[in-house]
A and B are shown apart, each in its own frame.
Chain A
Amino acid sequence: MNPFKLDHLKALNKTAFSILFIASIMIALVGCSGSSSDNGATATQNQTETAANDSNTGGKGSKKDITLEFQQWWGVELPDGVLQQIVDGFTAQTGVKIKLLSNPYADTKTQIAAGAAAGTMADVVGLDGSWVYDFAKHESIANLTDLMKADGYDDSQLSDQIRVDGNTYMIPVVNFAYPMYVNLDIVKEAGVESIPKTWSEFKEATKKISTSTGKAGWAIPLSTESPSGIQNNFMSWLWASGGSMLKDGKPALTNNADLGATVAFVKGLFDSGVVAKGSNSMKEADMVGEFTNGRVAFMTDSLAHLTLIKKEAPQLNFDIIPVPVKDGFAGKSGMDVANWGIGIAENSKYKAEAMKFVEYLMSPEVNAKLAVYANAFPGNSKAEPDYSAADPLFLKAYDIYKTCYAVNEFTGLPTSEELMRSFDEQLQLYLGGDTSSATDMLAETQNIWQDAFK
Chain B
Amino acid sequence: MRVEKIRRSEPYFYLAPTIILMVILLIIPIIMVVRYSFYDNVIINKHPQFIGFENFAKVFHNKSFSAAAKNTLIFVGGSVIVHLFIGMTFAMLLNTKYLSAKTKALFRVIFALPWMFTASVIAILWKMLLDPHGVVNYLLEIFNLNSTQVEWLASRDFALLSVTIINIWAGYPFYMVSILAGLQGIPSDLYESSAIDGASAVQHFFRITIPQLKPILISLLMLDFVWTLQQFALIWMTTGGGPIHSTEMLSTFIYKLGFSKYQYSQASASAVILLVICSIVAFFYVRHQRGQE
A-side interface residues toward B, CB under 8 Å?
8, 11-12, 14-15, 18-19, 21-22, 25-26, 29, 109-110, 113-114, 116-117, 134, 137-139, 222-226, 276-282, 286, 295, 415, 417-418, 421, 424-425, 428-429, 432
Size of B's binding interface in residues, CB under 8 A: 42
Residue numbers in A under 8 Å from B149 (CB-CB): 277
Q: Which B residues touch A425, using CB under 8 A?
A: 242, 244-245
How many whole Å from B159's CB to the nearest CB in chain A?
7
With A139-B46, A421-B256 known, 5 other A-B pairs at CB within 8 A are A18-B10, A117-B43, A225-B239, A225-B240, A428-B242
> Which of B12-20, B109-117, B174-182 lies at the interface with chain A?
B12-20
Of the candidates B154, B156, B244, B256, which one forms a contact with A278 in the assembled complex, judged by CB atoms under 8 Å apart?
Answer: B154
Q: Which of A137, A279, A417, A432 contacts B260 (CB 8 A)?
A: A417
Bound-state Cα–Cα, A279 to B244, Å: 12
Question: B285 near A: Cβ within 8 Å?
Answer: no
Among B6, B24, B132, B243, the residue within 8 A (CB) of A29 is B24
A188 vs B199: C-alpha distance when bound (angstroms):
73
A280 to chain B, nearest CB (A): 4
Residue of A whose beta carbon sits closest to that of B248: A224
Residues of B bordering A, CB below 8 Å? 3, 6-7, 10, 13-14, 16-17, 20-21, 24, 43-44, 46, 127, 131-133, 149, 151, 153-156, 159, 236-245, 256, 258-262, 264
Instruction: Known A110-B259, A415-B262, A417-B260; judge A18-B154 contact (CB<8 A).
Output: no
Chain B contacts of A137 at CB under 8 A? Answer: 44
A-B contact pairs, 22 of them (CB 8 A): A15-B13, A19-B13, A21-B17, A25-B21, A26-B20, A29-B20, A29-B24, A110-B259, A223-B239, A223-B240, A224-B239, A225-B241, A226-B240, A277-B149, A280-B154, A280-B155, A281-B151, A281-B153, A281-B154, A281-B159, A281-B238, A282-B154
Which of chain A's residues have a CB closer than 8 A to the CB of B245? 425
How far, in angstroms, from A278 to B244 measured CA to CA in the complex? 14
**A109 to B151 Cα, complex, angstroms:** 29
| Pairwise interchain contact A11-B260, C-beta atoms closer than 8 A | no
Most chain A CB atoms below 10 A, which of B127, B155, B262: B262
The smallest beta-carbon distance between B13 and chain A, in angstroms, is 4
- Tell me the smallest distance from the CB of A276 to a CB of chain B, in Å: 8
CA distance A26 to B19 in the complex (A): 12
Nearest B-chain residue to A33, judged by Cβ = B24
In the complex, the 10 A-B pairs of residues with the closest C-beta atoms, listed nearest first: A225-B240, A18-B13, A277-B132, A280-B243, A280-B154, A224-B242, A281-B154, A281-B153, A278-B154, A224-B240
